[in-house]
Chains A and B, each alone.
Chain A
Amino acid sequence: MSTITETTPAAAEASAAPEQQWHRPTYWPFVLPALIVVLAVIVFPWLFTIWMSFNEWKVGSPTTFVGFANYLRLPNDPRFVEAVGHTIFYTALSVILPLIFGTLAAVVFHQRFAGRGFLRGVFIMPMMATPVAIALVWTMMFHPQLGVLNYLLSLVGLPPQLWVFNPATVIPSLVLVETWQWTPLVMLIVLGGLAAIPTEPYESAEIDGASFWQMFRYITLPLIMPFLFIAGMIRMIDAVKSFDIIFAITQGGPGSASETINLYLYSVAFVYYDLGYGSAIAVVFFLLIVLLAAVLLYLRKRMLWTEIGGGA
Protein backbone atom coordinates (compact mmCIF):
# COMPACT_ATOMS: atom_id res chain seq x y z
CA MET A 1 0.00 0.00 0.00
CA SER A 2 1.01 3.62 0.05
CA THR A 3 3.02 3.06 3.20
CA ILE A 4 5.81 1.40 1.20
CA THR A 5 6.42 4.49 -0.88
CA GLU A 6 6.92 6.40 2.31
CA THR A 7 10.47 5.17 2.99
CA THR A 8 12.33 8.14 1.56
CA PRO A 9 11.10 10.89 3.91
CA ALA A 10 11.02 8.37 6.74
CA ALA A 11 14.64 7.42 6.17
CA ALA A 12 15.58 11.04 6.61
CA GLU A 13 13.90 11.00 10.01
CA ALA A 14 15.69 7.91 11.29
CA SER A 15 19.09 8.75 12.73
CA ALA A 16 21.01 5.54 12.02
CA ALA A 17 20.76 2.70 9.52
CA PRO A 18 20.09 -0.18 11.97
CA GLU A 19 17.50 2.01 13.62
CA GLN A 20 15.75 2.18 10.32
CA GLN A 21 15.98 -1.57 9.88
CA TRP A 22 14.20 -2.05 13.15
CA HIS A 23 11.65 0.64 12.55
CA ARG A 24 10.16 0.27 9.12
CA PRO A 25 8.90 -3.08 7.90
CA THR A 26 8.74 -4.73 11.31
CA TYR A 27 5.66 -2.78 12.31
CA TRP A 28 3.55 -4.49 9.69
CA PRO A 29 2.13 -7.10 12.11
CA PHE A 30 0.61 -4.25 14.12
CA VAL A 31 -1.15 -2.83 11.09
CA LEU A 32 -2.18 -6.05 9.40
CA PRO A 33 -5.43 -6.87 11.27
CA ALA A 34 -6.73 -3.34 10.77
CA LEU A 35 -5.67 -3.48 7.15
CA ILE A 36 -7.75 -6.61 6.61
CA VAL A 37 -10.77 -5.00 8.27
CA VAL A 38 -10.35 -1.81 6.27
CA LEU A 39 -10.03 -3.76 3.04
CA ALA A 40 -13.14 -5.78 3.84
CA VAL A 41 -15.55 -3.13 5.07
CA ILE A 42 -14.21 0.04 3.45
CA VAL A 43 -12.16 -0.65 0.32
CA PHE A 44 -14.23 -3.59 -0.94
CA PRO A 45 -17.50 -1.58 -0.84
CA TRP A 46 -15.85 1.26 -2.77
CA LEU A 47 -14.67 -1.06 -5.55
CA PHE A 48 -17.90 -3.03 -5.64
CA THR A 49 -19.93 0.19 -5.90
CA ILE A 50 -17.86 1.37 -8.85
CA TRP A 51 -18.33 -1.97 -10.59
CA MET A 52 -22.06 -1.96 -9.92
CA SER A 53 -22.47 1.54 -11.26
CA PHE A 54 -21.72 0.14 -14.72
CA ASN A 55 -24.48 -2.42 -14.43
CA GLU A 56 -28.22 -2.44 -14.60
CA TRP A 57 -29.10 -4.20 -11.37
CA LYS A 58 -32.51 -4.32 -9.82
CA VAL A 59 -33.12 -6.74 -7.00
CA GLY A 60 -34.72 -9.89 -8.36
CA SER A 61 -33.65 -9.48 -11.98
CA PRO A 62 -30.37 -10.49 -13.68
CA THR A 63 -27.46 -8.08 -13.94
CA THR A 64 -26.49 -6.60 -17.29
CA PHE A 65 -23.46 -4.53 -18.13
CA VAL A 66 -24.61 -1.14 -19.43
CA GLY A 67 -21.40 0.90 -19.52
CA PHE A 68 -21.92 4.54 -18.65
CA ALA A 69 -25.69 4.41 -19.10
CA ASN A 70 -26.36 4.95 -15.39
CA TYR A 71 -24.13 8.02 -15.36
CA LEU A 72 -25.78 9.40 -18.50
CA ARG A 73 -29.16 9.13 -16.77
CA LEU A 74 -28.07 11.54 -14.05
CA PRO A 75 -28.17 14.89 -15.90
CA ASN A 76 -31.57 13.98 -17.39
CA ASP A 77 -33.06 13.00 -14.05
CA PRO A 78 -34.93 16.07 -12.78
CA ARG A 79 -35.10 14.68 -9.24
CA PHE A 80 -31.33 14.26 -9.13
CA VAL A 81 -30.70 17.74 -10.54
CA GLU A 82 -33.11 19.20 -8.00
CA ALA A 83 -31.41 17.22 -5.24
CA VAL A 84 -28.05 18.74 -6.21
CA GLY A 85 -29.60 22.20 -5.88
CA HIS A 86 -31.09 21.38 -2.48
CA THR A 87 -27.76 19.96 -1.31
CA ILE A 88 -25.87 23.12 -2.31
CA PHE A 89 -28.43 25.39 -0.64
CA TYR A 90 -28.54 23.25 2.51
CA THR A 91 -24.73 22.96 2.69
CA ALA A 92 -24.02 26.65 2.13
CA LEU A 93 -26.34 27.67 4.96
CA SER A 94 -25.11 24.86 7.21
CA VAL A 95 -21.52 26.01 6.82
CA ILE A 96 -21.99 29.75 7.17
CA LEU A 97 -24.36 29.89 10.15
CA PRO A 98 -22.41 27.53 12.47
CA LEU A 99 -19.20 29.37 11.53
CA ILE A 100 -20.65 32.71 12.62
CA PHE A 101 -22.29 31.47 15.82
CA GLY A 102 -19.43 29.11 16.63
CA THR A 103 -16.87 31.90 16.42
CA LEU A 104 -18.96 34.18 18.65
CA ALA A 105 -19.41 31.34 21.16
CA ALA A 106 -15.67 30.61 21.12
CA VAL A 107 -14.84 34.24 21.89
CA VAL A 108 -17.15 34.04 24.91
CA PHE A 109 -15.86 30.64 26.09
CA HIS A 110 -12.30 31.92 25.76
CA GLN A 111 -12.99 34.29 28.68
CA ARG A 112 -12.62 33.08 32.23
CA PHE A 113 -15.78 32.66 34.26
CA ALA A 114 -17.11 30.39 36.96
CA GLY A 115 -18.52 27.08 35.74
CA ARG A 116 -16.94 27.39 32.32
CA GLY A 117 -16.07 23.70 32.04
CA PHE A 118 -19.56 22.58 32.98
CA LEU A 119 -21.25 25.07 30.65
CA ARG A 120 -18.96 24.00 27.81
CA GLY A 121 -20.12 20.44 28.46
CA VAL A 122 -23.74 21.59 28.25
CA PHE A 123 -22.99 23.56 25.11
CA ILE A 124 -21.60 20.53 23.26
CA MET A 125 -24.51 18.28 24.21
CA PRO A 126 -26.47 18.98 21.00
CA MET A 127 -23.73 17.53 18.83
CA MET A 128 -23.21 14.42 20.94
CA ALA A 129 -26.90 13.60 21.47
CA THR A 130 -28.48 10.91 19.28
CA PRO A 131 -29.58 12.73 16.08
CA VAL A 132 -32.80 10.75 15.66
CA ALA A 133 -33.88 11.48 19.21
CA ILE A 134 -33.22 15.17 18.68
CA ALA A 135 -34.99 15.18 15.33
CA LEU A 136 -38.06 13.74 16.98
CA VAL A 137 -38.28 16.56 19.50
CA TRP A 138 -37.63 19.19 16.80
CA THR A 139 -40.48 17.70 14.78
CA MET A 140 -42.78 18.34 17.74
CA MET A 141 -41.41 21.85 18.13
CA PHE A 142 -42.03 22.60 14.45
CA HIS A 143 -45.68 21.56 14.71
CA PRO A 144 -47.71 24.49 13.24
CA GLN A 145 -50.55 24.35 15.80
CA LEU A 146 -49.06 22.87 18.96
CA GLY A 147 -45.36 23.50 18.43
CA VAL A 148 -43.47 25.60 20.92
CA LEU A 149 -41.60 27.52 18.17
CA ASN A 150 -44.74 29.22 16.89
CA TYR A 151 -45.63 30.04 20.47
CA LEU A 152 -42.20 31.67 20.93
CA LEU A 153 -42.74 33.63 17.69
CA SER A 154 -46.10 34.84 18.94
CA LEU A 155 -44.44 36.14 22.11
CA VAL A 156 -42.33 38.54 20.05
CA GLY A 157 -45.25 39.41 17.78
CA LEU A 158 -44.25 37.39 14.73
CA PRO A 159 -46.77 35.46 12.63
CA PRO A 160 -46.82 31.64 12.92
CA GLN A 161 -44.79 29.67 10.39
CA LEU A 162 -45.34 26.31 8.71
CA TRP A 163 -41.63 25.43 9.21
CA VAL A 164 -40.89 22.01 7.73
CA PHE A 165 -44.41 21.71 6.35
CA ASN A 166 -43.91 24.45 3.77
CA PRO A 167 -41.67 23.75 0.73
CA ALA A 168 -40.37 27.32 0.87
CA THR A 169 -39.19 27.16 4.50
CA VAL A 170 -38.33 23.49 4.92
CA ILE A 171 -34.61 23.77 4.13
CA PRO A 172 -33.97 26.82 6.32
CA SER A 173 -35.89 25.07 9.11
CA LEU A 174 -33.73 21.97 8.81
CA VAL A 175 -30.64 24.18 8.73
CA LEU A 176 -31.83 25.66 12.01
CA VAL A 177 -31.58 22.16 13.53
CA GLU A 178 -28.24 21.49 11.86
CA THR A 179 -26.88 24.82 13.11
CA TRP A 180 -28.13 24.19 16.62
CA GLN A 181 -26.49 20.77 16.51
CA TRP A 182 -23.10 21.58 14.98
CA THR A 183 -22.24 25.10 16.14
CA PRO A 184 -20.43 23.49 19.13
CA LEU A 185 -17.92 21.75 16.85
CA VAL A 186 -16.96 25.05 15.23
CA MET A 187 -16.75 26.57 18.69
CA LEU A 188 -14.33 23.87 19.89
CA ILE A 189 -12.06 24.23 16.86
CA VAL A 190 -11.98 28.03 17.07
CA LEU A 191 -11.46 27.82 20.83
CA GLY A 192 -8.35 25.77 20.11
CA GLY A 193 -7.22 28.53 17.78
CA LEU A 194 -7.86 31.25 20.33
CA ALA A 195 -5.83 29.38 22.95
CA ALA A 196 -2.82 29.53 20.64
CA ILE A 197 -2.88 33.34 20.28
CA PRO A 198 -0.26 35.14 22.40
CA THR A 199 -1.45 37.97 24.66
CA GLU A 200 1.11 40.59 23.58
CA PRO A 201 -0.79 41.94 20.55
CA TYR A 202 -3.82 42.59 22.74
CA GLU A 203 -1.75 44.33 25.40
CA SER A 204 -0.20 46.75 22.94
CA ALA A 205 -3.54 47.28 21.19
CA GLU A 206 -5.12 48.13 24.53
CA ILE A 207 -2.39 50.70 25.19
CA ASP A 208 -3.12 52.18 21.78
CA GLY A 209 -6.77 52.48 22.83
CA ALA A 210 -8.25 49.91 20.44
CA SER A 211 -11.88 48.95 20.99
CA PHE A 212 -13.02 45.38 21.61
CA TRP A 213 -14.39 45.19 18.07
CA GLN A 214 -11.15 46.53 16.56
CA MET A 215 -9.10 43.98 18.47
CA PHE A 216 -11.40 41.20 17.27
CA ARG A 217 -11.37 42.41 13.69
CA TYR A 218 -7.64 43.12 13.31
CA ILE A 219 -5.96 40.68 15.72
CA THR A 220 -8.23 37.77 16.57
CA LEU A 221 -9.87 37.18 13.23
CA PRO A 222 -6.71 36.99 11.10
CA LEU A 223 -5.02 34.68 13.64
CA ILE A 224 -7.92 32.23 13.85
CA MET A 225 -8.46 32.23 10.08
CA PRO A 226 -6.71 28.85 9.53
CA PHE A 227 -8.94 27.29 12.19
CA LEU A 228 -12.06 28.85 10.71
CA PHE A 229 -11.05 27.47 7.35
CA ILE A 230 -10.71 23.96 8.68
CA ALA A 231 -13.93 24.21 10.67
CA GLY A 232 -15.63 25.33 7.45
CA MET A 233 -14.23 22.38 5.54
CA ILE A 234 -15.35 19.84 8.13
CA ARG A 235 -18.73 21.48 8.30
CA MET A 236 -19.01 21.35 4.52
CA ILE A 237 -18.22 17.63 4.38
CA ASP A 238 -20.66 16.81 7.17
CA ALA A 239 -23.43 19.03 5.82
CA VAL A 240 -23.17 17.62 2.29
CA LYS A 241 -23.79 14.11 3.59
CA SER A 242 -26.27 15.08 6.30
CA PHE A 243 -28.90 12.35 6.53
CA ASP A 244 -30.33 11.53 9.96
CA ILE A 245 -31.92 14.88 10.71
CA ILE A 246 -33.45 15.35 7.27
CA PHE A 247 -34.66 11.78 7.02
CA ALA A 248 -36.19 11.69 10.47
CA ILE A 249 -37.92 15.07 10.24
CA THR A 250 -39.12 15.34 6.63
CA GLN A 251 -37.93 12.24 4.70
CA GLY A 252 -37.11 14.70 1.92
CA GLY A 253 -40.57 16.27 1.89
CA PRO A 254 -42.91 17.99 1.60
CA GLY A 255 -42.98 16.48 -1.90
CA SER A 256 -39.28 16.47 -2.62
CA ALA A 257 -38.58 19.99 -1.35
CA SER A 258 -35.83 18.92 1.07
CA GLU A 259 -34.49 15.94 -0.84
CA THR A 260 -30.69 16.17 -0.90
CA ILE A 261 -28.39 13.88 -2.90
CA ASN A 262 -27.98 11.58 0.09
CA LEU A 263 -31.73 11.28 0.61
CA TYR A 264 -32.30 10.62 -3.08
CA LEU A 265 -29.56 8.01 -3.02
CA TYR A 266 -31.39 6.27 -0.20
CA SER A 267 -34.67 6.26 -2.14
CA VAL A 268 -33.12 4.96 -5.35
CA ALA A 269 -31.16 2.21 -3.65
CA PHE A 270 -33.41 1.09 -0.83
CA VAL A 271 -36.93 2.16 -1.79
CA TYR A 272 -36.84 1.46 -5.55
CA TYR A 273 -34.01 -1.09 -5.20
CA ASP A 274 -32.40 0.26 -8.39
CA LEU A 275 -28.94 -0.68 -7.17
CA GLY A 276 -26.98 0.04 -10.37
CA TYR A 277 -28.29 3.56 -10.66
CA GLY A 278 -27.96 4.05 -6.91
CA SER A 279 -24.31 3.05 -7.17
CA ALA A 280 -23.74 5.61 -9.93
CA ILE A 281 -25.23 8.30 -7.69
CA ALA A 282 -23.03 7.07 -4.84
CA VAL A 283 -19.90 7.31 -7.02
CA VAL A 284 -20.70 10.83 -8.25
CA PHE A 285 -21.56 11.91 -4.73
CA PHE A 286 -18.36 10.31 -3.45
CA LEU A 287 -16.23 12.09 -6.07
CA LEU A 288 -17.79 15.38 -5.09
CA ILE A 289 -16.84 14.80 -1.47
CA VAL A 290 -13.37 13.43 -2.27
CA LEU A 291 -12.75 16.69 -4.06
CA LEU A 292 -13.48 18.43 -0.78
CA ALA A 293 -11.36 15.86 1.06
CA ALA A 294 -8.37 16.66 -1.13
CA VAL A 295 -8.60 20.26 -0.03
CA LEU A 296 -8.93 19.14 3.57
CA LEU A 297 -5.90 16.88 3.37
CA TYR A 298 -3.86 19.70 1.92
CA LEU A 299 -4.93 21.81 4.87
CA ARG A 300 -4.08 19.06 7.32
CA LYS A 301 -0.54 19.00 5.99
CA ARG A 302 -0.28 22.71 6.47
CA MET A 303 -1.65 22.46 9.99
CA LEU A 304 0.81 19.69 10.81
CA TRP A 305 3.66 21.82 9.55
CA THR A 306 2.69 24.73 11.72
CA GLU A 307 2.26 22.37 14.67
CA ILE A 308 5.73 20.94 14.22
CA GLY A 309 7.15 24.40 13.64
CA GLY A 310 5.45 25.65 16.83
CA GLY A 311 6.63 22.69 18.90
CA ALA A 312 10.29 22.65 17.92
Chain B
Amino acid sequence: MSPRQLLGRIGLWFSVFIIVSPAILFFLWMISLSLKYEIDNAAYPPVFIPEQFAWKNYADVLASNRFLTYFVNSLVVTGSATLLAMLVGVPAGYGIARMAAHKSAIVILIARITPGLSYLIPLFLLFQWLGLLGTLVPQIIIHLVVTVPIVIWIMIGYFETTPLELEEAARIDGATRWQVFRHVALPIARPGLAVAFILAVIFSWNNFVFGIVLAGRETRTLPVAVYNMISFDQLSWGPLAAAALLVTFPVLLLTVFAQRQIVAGLTAGAVKGG
Protein backbone atom coordinates (compact mmCIF):
# COMPACT_ATOMS: atom_id res chain seq x y z
CA MET B 1 0.00 0.00 0.00
CA SER B 2 1.44 3.33 -1.05
CA PRO B 3 1.53 6.23 1.44
CA ARG B 4 -1.16 8.00 -0.57
CA GLN B 5 -3.47 4.99 -0.42
CA LEU B 6 -2.79 4.64 3.28
CA LEU B 7 -3.66 8.29 3.80
CA GLY B 8 -6.87 7.78 1.85
CA ARG B 9 -7.71 4.76 3.98
CA ILE B 10 -7.17 6.70 7.20
CA GLY B 11 -9.23 9.58 5.84
CA LEU B 12 -12.05 7.21 4.96
CA TRP B 13 -12.11 5.61 8.39
CA PHE B 14 -12.01 9.03 10.00
CA SER B 15 -15.02 10.12 7.89
CA VAL B 16 -16.91 6.94 8.74
CA PHE B 17 -16.21 7.54 12.41
CA ILE B 18 -17.45 11.15 12.22
CA ILE B 19 -20.59 10.14 10.36
CA VAL B 20 -21.77 7.30 12.56
CA SER B 21 -20.75 8.86 15.89
CA PRO B 22 -23.89 11.01 16.40
CA ALA B 23 -26.04 7.89 16.18
CA ILE B 24 -23.73 5.70 18.27
CA LEU B 25 -23.05 8.32 20.93
CA PHE B 26 -26.74 9.10 21.27
CA PHE B 27 -27.77 5.51 21.87
CA LEU B 28 -24.81 4.89 24.19
CA TRP B 29 -25.82 7.95 26.18
CA MET B 30 -29.39 6.66 26.25
CA ILE B 31 -28.15 3.36 27.69
CA SER B 32 -25.93 5.23 30.13
CA LEU B 33 -28.84 7.38 31.38
CA SER B 34 -31.00 4.32 31.82
CA LEU B 35 -28.41 2.51 33.94
CA LYS B 36 -27.59 5.31 36.38
CA TYR B 37 -29.01 6.21 39.76
CA GLU B 38 -30.35 9.73 40.15
CA ILE B 39 -27.21 10.90 41.89
CA ASP B 40 -25.13 9.99 38.83
CA ASN B 41 -27.66 11.43 36.37
CA ALA B 42 -27.64 14.74 38.27
CA ALA B 43 -23.84 14.93 38.44
CA TYR B 44 -21.85 17.63 36.70
CA PRO B 45 -19.61 16.99 34.83
CA PRO B 46 -21.72 14.06 33.57
CA VAL B 47 -20.85 10.50 34.48
CA PHE B 48 -20.64 8.22 31.46
CA ILE B 49 -20.04 4.86 33.07
CA PRO B 50 -21.30 4.72 36.64
CA GLU B 51 -19.58 2.76 39.37
CA GLN B 52 -22.85 1.03 40.13
CA PHE B 53 -25.34 0.07 37.45
CA ALA B 54 -28.95 0.84 38.26
CA TRP B 55 -30.59 -2.28 36.85
CA LYS B 56 -33.35 -1.36 39.24
CA ASN B 57 -34.55 1.29 36.73
CA TYR B 58 -35.55 -1.45 34.32
CA ALA B 59 -37.06 -3.56 37.05
CA ASP B 60 -39.11 -0.58 38.22
CA VAL B 61 -40.43 0.16 34.74
CA LEU B 62 -41.32 -3.43 34.04
CA ALA B 63 -43.00 -3.84 37.41
CA SER B 64 -44.91 -0.58 37.63
CA ASN B 65 -46.80 1.85 35.47
CA ARG B 66 -48.85 -0.91 33.87
CA PHE B 67 -46.03 -1.34 31.44
CA LEU B 68 -47.23 -4.81 30.56
CA THR B 69 -50.75 -3.57 29.76
CA TYR B 70 -49.36 -0.90 27.47
CA PHE B 71 -47.02 -3.37 25.85
CA VAL B 72 -49.94 -5.69 25.11
CA ASN B 73 -51.94 -2.71 23.79
CA SER B 74 -49.10 -1.83 21.43
CA LEU B 75 -48.82 -5.43 20.35
CA VAL B 76 -52.55 -5.71 19.66
CA VAL B 77 -52.81 -2.39 17.81
CA THR B 78 -49.68 -2.86 15.70
CA GLY B 79 -50.35 -6.56 15.10
CA SER B 80 -53.97 -6.09 14.04
CA ALA B 81 -53.31 -3.00 11.94
CA THR B 82 -50.42 -4.72 10.16
CA LEU B 83 -52.20 -8.01 9.52
CA LEU B 84 -55.34 -6.29 8.27
CA ALA B 85 -53.22 -4.10 6.02
CA MET B 86 -51.43 -7.14 4.60
CA LEU B 87 -54.74 -8.90 4.08
CA VAL B 88 -56.27 -6.12 1.99
CA GLY B 89 -53.11 -4.38 0.78
CA VAL B 90 -51.23 -7.26 -0.82
CA PRO B 91 -54.04 -8.29 -3.22
CA ALA B 92 -54.68 -4.61 -3.91
CA GLY B 93 -51.05 -4.02 -4.81
CA TYR B 94 -51.28 -7.02 -7.15
CA GLY B 95 -54.49 -5.81 -8.75
CA ILE B 96 -53.22 -2.28 -9.25
CA ALA B 97 -49.94 -3.53 -10.72
CA ARG B 98 -51.70 -5.94 -13.13
CA MET B 99 -54.31 -3.40 -14.19
CA ALA B 100 -51.47 -0.91 -14.65
CA ALA B 101 -53.73 1.50 -12.78
CA HIS B 102 -50.96 3.88 -11.83
CA LYS B 103 -53.33 6.75 -11.33
CA SER B 104 -55.08 5.02 -8.46
CA ALA B 105 -51.77 5.24 -6.64
CA ILE B 106 -52.39 8.98 -6.32
CA VAL B 107 -54.78 8.20 -3.46
CA ILE B 108 -52.03 6.27 -1.72
CA LEU B 109 -49.59 9.07 -2.31
CA ILE B 110 -51.93 11.71 -0.93
CA ALA B 111 -52.62 9.49 2.05
CA ARG B 112 -48.88 9.31 2.68
CA ILE B 113 -48.68 13.07 2.50
CA THR B 114 -51.70 14.09 4.59
CA PRO B 115 -50.82 14.98 8.19
CA GLY B 116 -52.14 12.35 10.60
CA LEU B 117 -54.04 14.97 12.56
CA SER B 118 -56.34 15.63 9.60
CA TYR B 119 -57.75 12.12 9.94
CA LEU B 120 -58.20 12.46 13.65
CA ILE B 121 -60.94 15.10 13.77
CA PRO B 122 -63.54 13.19 11.70
CA LEU B 123 -62.59 9.74 12.96
CA PHE B 124 -62.57 10.96 16.56
CA LEU B 125 -66.17 12.15 16.12
CA LEU B 126 -67.12 8.94 14.37
CA PHE B 127 -65.70 6.73 17.12
CA GLN B 128 -67.34 8.88 19.76
CA TRP B 129 -70.66 8.53 17.96
CA LEU B 130 -70.19 4.77 17.71
CA GLY B 131 -69.26 4.60 21.38
CA LEU B 132 -65.94 2.88 20.70
CA LEU B 133 -63.63 5.33 22.47
CA GLY B 134 -62.87 3.21 25.52
CA THR B 135 -61.58 0.29 23.44
CA LEU B 136 -58.57 -0.45 21.26
CA VAL B 137 -60.72 -0.63 18.10
CA PRO B 138 -60.39 3.09 17.17
CA GLN B 139 -56.61 2.89 17.33
CA ILE B 140 -56.49 -0.30 15.27
CA ILE B 141 -58.69 1.29 12.62
CA ILE B 142 -56.81 4.59 12.51
CA HIS B 143 -53.45 2.81 12.33
CA LEU B 144 -54.69 1.44 9.00
CA VAL B 145 -54.14 4.98 7.73
CA VAL B 146 -50.43 4.30 8.26
CA THR B 147 -50.12 0.63 7.38
CA VAL B 148 -52.41 0.20 4.35
CA PRO B 149 -50.68 2.81 2.13
CA ILE B 150 -47.24 1.41 3.01
CA VAL B 151 -48.25 -2.14 2.13
CA ILE B 152 -50.04 -1.24 -1.10
CA TRP B 153 -47.25 1.05 -2.22
CA ILE B 154 -44.48 -1.45 -1.64
CA MET B 155 -46.45 -4.35 -3.14
CA ILE B 156 -47.25 -2.40 -6.31
CA GLY B 157 -43.51 -1.94 -6.74
CA TYR B 158 -42.79 -5.64 -6.24
CA PHE B 159 -45.57 -7.02 -8.43
CA GLU B 160 -44.64 -4.60 -11.20
CA THR B 161 -41.19 -6.17 -11.41
CA THR B 162 -42.21 -9.85 -11.19
CA PRO B 163 -42.26 -11.55 -14.59
CA LEU B 164 -45.64 -12.08 -16.25
CA GLU B 165 -44.58 -15.19 -18.21
CA LEU B 166 -45.02 -17.57 -15.28
CA GLU B 167 -48.48 -16.23 -14.53
CA GLU B 168 -49.48 -16.58 -18.17
CA ALA B 169 -48.21 -20.16 -18.26
CA ALA B 170 -50.27 -20.99 -15.19
CA ARG B 171 -53.30 -19.39 -16.76
CA ILE B 172 -52.93 -21.47 -19.92
CA ASP B 173 -52.85 -24.54 -17.69
CA GLY B 174 -56.30 -23.54 -16.51
CA ALA B 175 -55.58 -21.80 -13.23
CA THR B 176 -58.07 -19.22 -12.04
CA ARG B 177 -56.99 -15.68 -11.33
CA TRP B 178 -57.04 -16.36 -7.62
CA GLN B 179 -54.94 -19.51 -8.04
CA VAL B 180 -52.43 -17.61 -10.16
CA PHE B 181 -52.15 -14.98 -7.45
CA ARG B 182 -52.00 -17.47 -4.61
CA HIS B 183 -49.62 -20.02 -6.09
CA VAL B 184 -47.52 -18.07 -8.59
CA ALA B 185 -47.41 -14.36 -7.89
CA LEU B 186 -47.41 -14.47 -4.09
CA PRO B 187 -44.48 -16.89 -3.62
CA ILE B 188 -42.34 -14.84 -6.01
CA ALA B 189 -43.15 -11.65 -4.14
CA ARG B 190 -42.16 -13.06 -0.77
CA PRO B 191 -39.24 -10.63 -0.25
CA GLY B 192 -41.67 -7.81 -0.93
CA LEU B 193 -44.08 -9.19 1.66
CA ALA B 194 -41.29 -9.14 4.24
CA VAL B 195 -40.38 -5.55 3.41
CA ALA B 196 -44.00 -4.36 3.56
CA PHE B 197 -44.62 -6.22 6.82
CA ILE B 198 -41.51 -4.89 8.56
CA LEU B 199 -42.08 -1.28 7.57
CA ALA B 200 -45.77 -1.40 8.49
CA VAL B 201 -44.89 -2.83 11.91
CA ILE B 202 -42.24 -0.19 12.58
CA PHE B 203 -44.30 2.82 11.54
CA SER B 204 -47.36 1.58 13.39
CA TRP B 205 -45.36 0.77 16.53
CA ASN B 206 -43.75 4.23 16.51
CA ASN B 207 -46.99 6.11 15.94
CA PHE B 208 -47.76 8.63 18.62
CA VAL B 209 -50.20 11.24 17.34
CA PHE B 210 -53.20 8.92 17.03
CA GLY B 211 -52.74 7.58 20.53
CA ILE B 212 -52.59 10.93 22.33
CA VAL B 213 -56.06 11.75 21.07
CA LEU B 214 -57.75 8.35 21.00
CA ALA B 215 -56.20 6.46 23.90
CA GLY B 216 -57.68 6.49 27.36
CA ARG B 217 -55.88 5.44 30.54
CA GLU B 218 -56.39 1.77 29.82
CA THR B 219 -55.84 1.84 26.08
CA ARG B 220 -52.51 3.65 25.77
CA THR B 221 -49.88 2.26 23.47
CA LEU B 222 -46.23 2.39 24.57
CA PRO B 223 -45.23 5.69 22.92
CA VAL B 224 -48.19 7.43 24.55
CA ALA B 225 -47.48 5.79 27.90
CA VAL B 226 -43.87 6.95 27.78
CA TYR B 227 -44.95 10.47 26.90
CA ASN B 228 -47.24 10.53 29.90
CA MET B 229 -44.34 9.47 32.10
CA ILE B 230 -42.47 12.62 31.08
CA SER B 231 -45.06 14.91 32.55
CA PHE B 232 -45.19 13.05 35.84
CA ASP B 233 -41.57 12.06 36.39
CA GLN B 234 -39.75 15.14 35.18
CA LEU B 235 -36.86 14.55 37.54
CA SER B 236 -36.23 10.82 37.53
CA TRP B 237 -34.18 10.42 34.39
CA GLY B 238 -33.01 6.87 34.97
CA PRO B 239 -36.38 5.09 34.86
CA LEU B 240 -37.55 7.43 32.08
CA ALA B 241 -34.59 6.58 29.88
CA ALA B 242 -35.06 2.90 30.70
CA ALA B 243 -38.70 3.10 29.63
CA ALA B 244 -37.78 4.94 26.44
CA LEU B 245 -35.21 2.30 25.61
CA LEU B 246 -37.65 -0.53 26.26
CA VAL B 247 -40.25 1.10 23.99
CA THR B 248 -37.91 1.53 21.07
CA PHE B 249 -35.87 -1.64 21.64
CA PRO B 250 -38.01 -3.96 19.44
CA VAL B 251 -37.73 -1.49 16.58
CA LEU B 252 -33.97 -1.07 16.95
CA LEU B 253 -33.58 -4.84 17.04
CA LEU B 254 -35.61 -5.13 13.85
CA THR B 255 -33.55 -2.37 12.23
CA VAL B 256 -30.31 -4.20 12.87
CA PHE B 257 -31.58 -7.64 11.82
CA ALA B 258 -33.76 -6.59 8.87
CA GLN B 259 -31.47 -3.79 7.74
CA ARG B 260 -31.43 -4.99 4.11
CA GLN B 261 -35.22 -5.16 3.82
CA ILE B 262 -35.68 -1.78 5.46
CA VAL B 263 -33.17 -0.12 3.18
CA ALA B 264 -34.78 -1.76 0.14
CA GLY B 265 -38.27 -0.71 1.20
CA LEU B 266 -37.38 2.83 2.11
CA THR B 267 -35.39 3.54 -1.02
CA ALA B 268 -38.01 1.94 -3.26
CA GLY B 269 -40.70 3.94 -1.55
CA ALA B 270 -38.62 7.08 -1.59
CA VAL B 271 -37.43 6.97 -5.16
CA LYS B 272 -40.93 6.20 -6.29
CA GLY B 273 -42.17 9.06 -4.22
CA GLY B 274 -43.62 7.59 -1.06
Chain A residues in contact with chain B, CB under 8 A? 1-3, 5-6, 9-10, 13, 22-24, 26-31, 33-38, 41-46, 48-49, 52, 104-105, 108-109, 111, 113, 117, 119-126, 128-134, 136-137, 139-141, 145-146, 148, 151, 180, 185, 188-189, 191-192, 227, 230-231, 233-234, 237, 241, 243-244, 247-248, 262, 265-266, 269-270, 275, 278-279, 282, 285-286, 289-290, 292-293, 296-297, 299-300, 303-304
B interface residues, tally (CB under 8 Å): 100
Q: Is the CB of A151 within 8 A of B44?
A: yes
Q: Can you pick out 7 interface pairs between chain A and chain B where the beta carbons lie within 8 Å of each other? A: A38-B108, A124-B259, A130-B223, A151-B45, A192-B271, A227-B271, A282-B117
Given contacts A105-B19, A126-B26, contact A237 B230 (CB under 8 A): no
Chain A residues with Cβ below 8 Å from B117 are 243, 262, 265-266, 269, 282
Given contacts A128-B262, A243-B209, contact A148 B125 (CB under 8 A): no
Instruction: A133-B226, A136-B241 given; name 6 further pairs at CB < 8 Å.
Output: A30-B94, A136-B244, A180-B26, A189-B271, A230-B271, A233-B273
Q: Which chain B residues (46-103) contact chain A, with CB distance < 8 Å? A: 46, 84, 87-89, 91-92, 94-96, 98-103
Cβ 8 A contact of A270, one of B106, B109, B120, B181: B120
A228 to B229, CA, bound (A): 39
B131-147 CB mask vs A (1 if < 8 Å, else 0) is: 00000000001101100
Chain B residues with Cβ below 8 Å from A278 are 121
A172 to B128, CA, bound (A): 39
Q: Is the CB of A2 within 8 A of B94?
A: no
Chain A residues with Cβ below 8 Å from B200 are none
- The A interface is mostly helix, strand or loop, or mixed, namely helix
Chain B residues with Cβ below 8 Å from A41 are 119, 123, 141-142, 144-145, 148
Chain A residues with Cβ below 8 Å from B145 are 41-42
With most chain A CB atoms within 10 A of its CB, the pick from B102, B118, B123, B244 is B118
Cβ 8 A contact of A188, one of B119, B247, B263: B263
Chain B residues with Cβ below 8 Å from A139 are 230
Chain B residues with Cβ below 8 Å from A290 are 110, 113
